[in-house]
Structure 1
Amino acid sequence: MHLMLTLLALVLLAQTATCYAQDTLWFEVKSGTSYQTRFSLANDTPPEDTSALRELLQKHLTIHEAMQNPRMNDSEWRRLIQKTPQEIADLVATEGYFKTKTVTVQPSVNLAEFHISLPPQAKVSQVNVSITGEIQQPSHQSTLEAAQKSWPLPVNSTFTQQAWGTAKRELLATLLRAEFPNAKITTSQAMVNPQTQEVLITLAMDSGPAVRIGEVSIHGLQHYKESLVRPLNTLKTGAPYRQSDLLTLQNSFMSTGKFRSVDVVARTEALNADHSADIDVTVHEMEQNTFRIGAGASTNTGARIVFNYTDRNLFDRGLLWDSSLRLEQKLQAVTSNITFLTDNKGYRDSIQNSVTRTDLEGQITTAVQNGVRRYWGQPGIFEQYVGANLLYEFLTVDGESSQFNKAATLAYGLNVRKLDHPLAPTKGWILNTQFQLAPLDKLSDGRFLQSQARLQGFYPLTQSTQWLGRIEVGTVTGARSVPATYLFRAGGDQSVRGYAFQSLGVKEADAIVGGRVLLTGSSEIVQWLTSSWGAAVFVDFGHAANSWKDYDPAFGYGLGVRWRSPIGPVGVDVAYGEETKEYRLHFNLGVNF
């Protein structure tokens, strides 16, 4: 009798081993100790990509964490083996696999095999989302419709805990960003039928009252009169509450260069009787006077040392005076910039004075400029300016011919940015345009118009792959005697890589001088290998010429390394210039706006 039972057990064991041997080996984990786990998937497992599940089990199963402990013993090992099937079921359920079956086999003392049979991934079968509250009123119909359309987990979509949590947060955020900062979830339920792998979603939200902007109070001022900074307030009492408007207000204060930090808080939890929320702006001022010395180097203009002095309350009128002395191998400059605070009409005025000397490609240029500008709009989002500038220029080409040029110009510029991040964008675009007109012969060597535009684009091809593009075009029309400052040259870090800074232009004797037309562009692919480090491949083109019929683009291409630093993206490139047959090293810090 005992013999028959033993034989039967052996037969069953052999059949079980044969059955599991047919399963597909998924992955194995072996630590520094002798303990090892092996995971197999049943042949009837759906063919979906299981790499995410594999990583989930490798990282979060208790048995794998314990295997790293050198004090692991056989008794603890057996206990962990027994609890692992339930942990597997709990973990894969977060990815939408419910009613997972796991059979454990232990061929040897130190080896545990887990044979997993995954059901089909759960799908959303029905969605019941309701939003009540003041948002139901006709005046908020557009906000309600936008919230309903934003629901990202529709019928037949794959259900996971992450997708479920994200869907709820995004719907709630749509209301919070609008005029309903007190919106809340009242019912949240996802009912799973493990037999059919179908999920019934029920979600209810209360929008609460529609909130409007109340009084704006400014706190923390020490050296500035409130009357000077009050025009920085971009909010209007009685306007609908918008979370983005609070950020605009914060940027308005920060862009002055006078405050170390600015906190904007809306009292949405203590509304006034008319459902308005008062706004508190708390500022922390920077030092009134600072002096800084900086040193560095660039592949464009060489080693440098910079002396900078800043007075943030010039004449006790809230004027920002920023002055600097810049000494580089190929460029030396003295600059002074006085910026006025935003006035009651939203205008920001500035006075610029500078003396700049450059020695590039056989051309030495000394330019003295005095100008004024008026800005309006939202800095960093949509900003325009008009200005006037007086230029005196001393020019020497190839150490021989020298000349004096002058020009009085009027300028108009437009800067537009639509980015997902101000310092390290992954999606969006930047447009910069500028027009400079010299209208009077008496104040200039001739009448001319300089037009210039630059467009940059950022687009994520995949979660870890990004495309960056750039195109820049410029023209000068009018008089033949245009100052070199207003002509174009190409080449360098932010132009055509593979060529020296401003080395692409019009050949004159042994020097390179500026041209009247410019066209440059770039296409770049960045593959992020980690969250901070990536590799890039790029192609640049461009040149400057005296006319479009003389235009012949030079090409540069190469490889680079990218680092997402705390102060913005950093890039190091090695580029090959097709025209010069030379390799050049380029270094970039930040996004060129």
Structure 2
Amino acid sequence: MLRPLLLILLTFFSMAAHAGLEVNVEPENEQVEDNIQAFVGEVEASTRREMERLAGHSKEQAIDAAQALGYYQAEITHRITGNRTDPVLVLEVQLGEPVRLREVDIRVEGAGMGTEPFDLQGAQRGRLQPGDVLHHGHYEAIKSYMANQALRFGYFSGQFSQQRLLVNIEDNVADITLVYQTGERFRLGDVVFSETPFDDNLLQRMVDFRTGAPYDADLLAKLNRDLLASGYFENVLVSAPASRAEEGLIPVEVQIAERKPHSLGLGAGYSTDVGARGRISWTEHWVNARGHKRGAELELSLPRQALTGYYQIPLTHPQTNSVRFFGGWQNEDIDDIESQSFTVGAQHEKLLDSGWERIAGLRLEHERFSLGNDSGQSTLLIPGVSFQRTKSVGGIDPSRGYSLMLDLQGAKKGVVSDVDFARVFTTAKGLYTFEENHRFLARVGLGAVYTDDFEQIPPSLRFFAGGDQSVRGYDYRSLSPTDDSGERVGGRFLLDSSLEYQYEFIPKWRAATFVDHGNAMDSLAAARKTSVGVGIRWVSPVGPIRVDLAQSISDSDEGFRIHFSMGPEL
């Protein structure tokens, strides 16, 4: 039975033609033809006599390849064509009637009978129905499926008590009997970690399953991923050897090597919005045995300078639940707006079971600002909550996915704050690739500030549009309401949308065309701006790099804008 299986597997590597071989199948059957081509392979000979000697073995291989797909009555003849020094072996295949399944008895017995891991009513079982043409590959596939499910879900004593495939060539029928005895399902025992500077309590909080949970290889793989994602470890190896089971419990052994506690990061970049920028970050990945973290970051560019720091404490599930205390200073000078702000606060970060990341926090912010001809300062105690979710396929250069974000914040006058306000901002992005080379990227952003004293709202909470992440036919933050002297002062509302098409003309390089629409406004009835453009995308080792040439179609005197940026598309 192994030989037909090998023939089936080779169909996945079939080629349209092989040197020195031609296969003609009657009646036409592309699957059989491909399987014969794949199994016989290249047939090369320098003379007709040599090709004649190869023909017999090639015919035997072709017969096996046809039988693997249920054609036991196939008759094969051959002839040799081509010139004397470059002969071609032609196999003429008359298929005849195929062998069809008559009786099919596939079942699971034992503790796993009727459980989800051994649900055989899906695609695997559906390919072996009475009346179907015998396909040895489908038969071997369901055998492998049952054995693999047993290994994945801890039925380590499982085995086939019956496995028969009987072919009656005279009647062109076949009978299948497969009975798998699962035995008892093993369970996961205590999780034991190798020597480490961390508290065992912290480590055990990273384990999502309890002692006695039914064995599932996916639980072990998730534990391995979660430990690596915690940021504490350089190497992780999770194992649960069945040979060490006692009374059905398999101890879980975790070999870990902690990472160096300190790291220093240096970064540099350039975008049209802020020009050249540099970044220096310092992180202490674990301060103590309880897994506390801290870090600081300095960002420098001509229009913006910022210094921030944080201290983070892990909670019940350290990978997905933590409290962060933070503080920072930022100075910004962009065209008509100057501001300097100081911030301290705390936030609770949690990954919800739904897949959304929720951040709830409270911050105290003091900002001195100048907008056009006006200047002022504000002190605000701002509670806020945000929700974010990103799902994508394809790593650093995803082929499809989406990103959603909702941010809500506000303040109450008299409770430390100088002004009442409520602010909402939401964005949605979507990416889809079809036929490998064609991509569509869509984006929409909506925002609003509600207050009776907008003049007291600092620029960091107002809305601006324009730039390489907004309406690209305009300069960075150049779309905004203006004061009496024509200086931009930010708006109460934001509408920002984009639709982009990309075509990959060579690997890692894409041409793009796009249309952007939106504005920052004091009234939803205000006019929006539209721009169109073309661009080039290079998928570099550190992520996509974009160069765009955009033109406003709302304001003909705006001229062309060139934008350069880098970073993820979702």
Say if 1:150 and 1:409 are closer, same or farther in 2 by CA, change over 3 A.
farther
Hey, what does 2:312 align to over in structure 1?
339
Say if 1:27 and 1:251 are closer, same or farther in 2 by CA, change over 3 A.
closer
Distance (whole Å) between structure 1 residues aligned to residue 367 and residue 296 of structure 2: 21
Deviation at 1:354, TM superposition (A): 2.0
Matched-pair contact (CA < 8 Å) for 1:492–1:499: yes
TM-score by length of 1: 0.73
Matched-pair contact (CA < 8 Å) for 2:278–2:299: yes
Deviation at 1:113, TM superposition (A): 3.2
Hey, what does 1:61 align to over in structure 2?
41
Deviation at 1:135, TM superposition (A): 2.1
**1:38-57 correspondence to structure 2 within 5 Å:** 39=22, 41=24, 45-46=28-29, 53=34
**1:26-425 correspondence to structure 2 within 5 Å:** 37=20, 39=22, 41=24, 45-46=28-29, 53=34, 61-63=41-43, 99=74, 101=76, 103-115=78-90, 128-136=105-113, 140=115, 144-145=118-119, 148-149=121-122, 151=124, 154=127, 204-221=179-196, 223-273=197-247, 275-314=248-287, 318-343=291-316, 347-360=321-334, 362-377=336-351, 381-397=355-371, 401-419=374-392, 423=396, 425=398
Which secondary structure state, in structure 2, belongs to the residue aligned with residue 249 of structure 1? helix
Say if 1:520 and 1:107 are closer, same or farther in 2 by CA, change over 3 A.
same
Say if 1:122 and 1:217 are closer, same or farther in 2 by CA, change over 3 A.
farther
Distance (whole Å) between structure 1 residues aligned to residue 153 and residue 297 of structure 2: 44
Deviation at 1:214, TM superposition (A): 2.2
Distance (whole Å) between structure 1 residues aligned to residue 98 and residue 563 of structure 2: 52
Say if 1:107 and 1:386 are closer, same or farther in 2 by CA, change over 3 A.
closer
Deviation at 1:220, TM superposition (A): 3.9
Deviation at 1:306, TM superposition (A): 2.0
* Structure 2 unaligned residues grouped into runs of 5+: 1-14
Give 1:437's match in structure 2, choosing from 410, 420, 437: 410
| Comparing 549-558 and 519-528, the one that deviates more | 519-528
Say if 1:506 and 1:395 are closer, same or farther in 2 by CA, change over 3 A.
same
Deviation at 1:322, TM superposition (A): 1.6
Matched, 1:550 2:526: yes
Say if 1:252 and 1:108 are closer, same or farther in 2 by CA, change over 3 A.
closer
Say if 1:80 and 1:336 are closer, same or farther in 2 by CA, change over 3 A.
farther
Deviation at 1:465, TM superposition (A): 5.7
Matched-pair contact (CA < 8 Å) for 2:277–2:299: yes
Distance (whole Å) between structure 1 residues aligned to residue 479 and residue 22 of structure 2: 61
Hey, what does 2:8 align to over in structure 1?
none
* Structure 1 unaligned residues grouped into runs of 5+: 1-25, 30-35, 67-71
Hey, what does 1:483 align to over in structure 2?
458
| Comparing 206-215 and 491-500, the one that deviates more | 491-500
Amino acid at match of 1:409: I
Matched-pair contact (CA < 8 Å) for 1:122–1:199: no
Matched, 1:517 2:493: yes
Distance (whole Å) between structure 1 residues aligned to residue 158 and residue 256 of structure 2: 28
Amino acid at match of 1:518: L
Matched-pair contact (CA < 8 Å) for 2:39–2:62: no
Cα deviations by residue, 1:252-305 (Å, 9 ceiling, x for unpaired)? 4333322223232234453331x3333223222111222333333345433232
Distance (whole Å) between structure 2 residues aligned to residue 496 and residue 364 of structure 1: 22
Say if 1:283 and 1:85 are closer, same or farther in 2 by CA, change over 3 A.
same
Which secondary structure state, in structure 2, belongs to the residue aligned with residue 313 of structure 1? coil
Cα deviations by residue, 1:61-84 (Å, 9 ceiling, x for unpaired)? 3347x9xxxxx8998777667755
Distance (whole Å) between structure 2 residues aligned to residue 500 and residue 152 of structure 1: 60
Amino acid at match of 1:214: G
Which secondary structure state, in structure 2, belongs to the residue aligned with residue 136 of structure 1? coil
Distance (whole Å) between structure 2 residues aligned to residue 44 and residue 255 of structure 1: 57
Matched-pair contact (CA < 8 Å) for 2:389–2:404: yes
Deviation at 1:344, TM superposition (A): 7.2
Matched-pair contact (CA < 8 Å) for 1:175–1:181: yes
**1:469-508 correspondence to structure 2 within 5 Å:** 469-479=442-452, 480=454, 481-492=456-467, 494-496=469-471, 500-507=475-482
Which secondary structure state, in structure 2, belongs to the residue aligned with residue 340 of structure 1? strand
Amino acid at match of 1:264: V
Which secondary structure state, in structure 2, belongs to the residue aligned with residue 134 of structure 1? coil
Deviation at 1:430, TM superposition (A): 3.8
Distance (whole Å) between structure 2 residues aligned to residue 471 and residue 489 of structure 1: 14
Which secondary structure state, in structure 2, belongs to the residue aligned with residue 314 of structure 1? coil
Distance (whole Å) between structure 1 residues aligned to residue 198 and residue 48 of structure 2: 72
Q: Alignment identity in percent?
A: 19
Say if 1:474 and 1:220 are closer, same or farther in 2 by CA, change over 3 A.
farther
For these two proteins, the number of residue pairs brought into alignment is 542
Deviation at 1:461, TM superposition (A): 4.1
Which secondary structure state, in structure 1, belongs to the residue aligned with residue 191 of structure 2? strand
Deviation at 1:108, TM superposition (A): 1.0
Say if 1:180 and 1:59 are closer, same or farther in 2 by CA, change over 3 A.
closer
Deviation at 1:444, TM superposition (A): 2.5
Deviation at 1:335, TM superposition (A): 1.7
Deviation at 1:386, TM superposition (A): 1.4
Which secondary structure state, in structure 2, belongs to the residue aligned with residue 282 of structure 1? strand
Say if 1:44 and 1:344 are closer, same or farther in 2 by CA, change over 3 A.
closer
CA RMSD between the two structures = 4.7
Distance (whole Å) between structure 1 residues aligned to residue 178 and residue 515 of structure 2: 51
Deviation at 1:350, TM superposition (A): 0.6
Cα deviations by residue, 1:519-557 (Å, 9 ceiling, x for unpaired)? 334455666778x64646564534233332226253445
TM-score by length of 2: 0.75
Say if 1:467 and 1:310 are closer, same or farther in 2 by CA, change over 3 A.
same
Deviation at 1:387, TM superposition (A): 0.7
Distance (whole Å) between structure 2 residues aligned to residue 555 and residue 120 of structure 1: 65
Distance (whole Å) between structure 2 residues aligned to residue 578 and residue 181 of structure 1: 67
